[in-house]
A = this chain, B = another copy of it.
């Protein structure tokens, strides 16, 4: 798949399907892996980094599951391409900045992605639409095993998989879910929830992972402890916690609907009205307004907007996507205008 072909579509995980998709946008499991006999990425000489990229490419090419994949080494892509991948949650901010030889590989449906020479030699990731960590774990285990047939992972019988950062040692697994929590925010319960999660070693981040702020009432939760427990156990424990947050959000939505539906409906419809009419809009404001529109869809107020289209909008209005769509570099001012124009176009058929 070429990058131009990617512009007109988005990944399977954005389809708004899967369990609890009213609250959970996506579920993600990632594994950190390193190769025996190679220095960790941060300290690796250039030639070794290139050799490593080649080795992983070979393993990927021999994988059955990854048959339909696209592989880009850093030499094949621009900074804008990498920003574009980041906005699609295929790679991390750290890989965008990386100076050493590195690469990224993902399946055409964008469910599986592999970063090569990020913090670890390999970062495997599986994304699922909705609340579906079990399927993500099942899939990543298949891919991990296939790659291991052709790669010699650094593994210690006592510590488990070795990783560049000790917080990842053991299973190298991290599970995360992207949740949409507008009702907990509106009813001012969110801080209590976040404090409780922090006590349970759950990290909270924004739409784009580490170092980003929550915008548009989107919160990414992930487990912090990877050592000394089995993969299934980690995922199960994390799932139980997320489930409670989902239930809290759903209860808060019912309470909001019962108590002050007209006021809430007004906020939701006005958000749609602004999005359908704006001529200049920042991505932050667009996220906040789209968040309310999403709640409006989930509450059954807005009926003629499908969730896939809406989920996509959160992605395609990001800076790199706008520049890919309009096929030109855009300064911030112009982006705000193009963003407004794109949103109007995408929402023009939604009744007010």
Contact = CB atoms under 8 A, between A and B. Distances in A.
> Copies of this chain, how many?
2
A272 B279 CA distance: 12
B279 A262 contact: yes
Given A344-B352, A352-B344, A270 B262 contact: no
A276 B352 CA distance: 7
Majority SS at the chain A contact face = helix
Interface in A246-274: 262-263, 265-266, 269-270, 272-274
Contact of A270 (B263, B266, B277, B348): B277
Contacts of A265: 279
A337 interface: yes
Given A262-B337, A337-B262, A278 B274 contact: no
Given A262-B337, A266-B340, A352 B279 contact: no
Contacts of A276: 273, 276-277, 352
A351 B262 CA distance: 25
Contact of A274 (B262, B263, B274, B279): B274
Nearest to A340: B266
Interface in A272-300: 272-281
A121 to B, nearest CB: 48
Nearest to A277: B273
Nearest to A269: B277
A279 B348 CA distance: 19
Contacts of A275: 273
A292 B272 CA distance: 19
A304 to B, nearest CB: 14
A344 B344 CA distance: 19
Contacts of A266: 278-281, 340
Interface string A28-39: 000000000000
A272 B344 CA distance: 14
A279 B340 CA distance: 23
Contacts of A263: 280
Interface string A124-156: 000000000000000000000000000000000
A24 to B, nearest CB: 28
A19 to B, nearest CB: 31
A273 to B, nearest CB: 3
A180 B273 CA distance: 25
Given A273-B275, A276-B276, 6 more contacts: A262-B279, A266-B281, A273-B274, A273-B276, A276-B277, A276-B352
18 contacts: A265-B279, A266-B278, A266-B279, A266-B281, A266-B340, A269-B278, A270-B274, A270-B277, A270-B278, A270-B279, A272-B277, A273-B273, A273-B275, A273-B277, A273-B278, A276-B276, A276-B352, A344-B352
Interface of A: 262-263, 265-266, 269-270, 272-281, 337, 340, 344, 348, 352
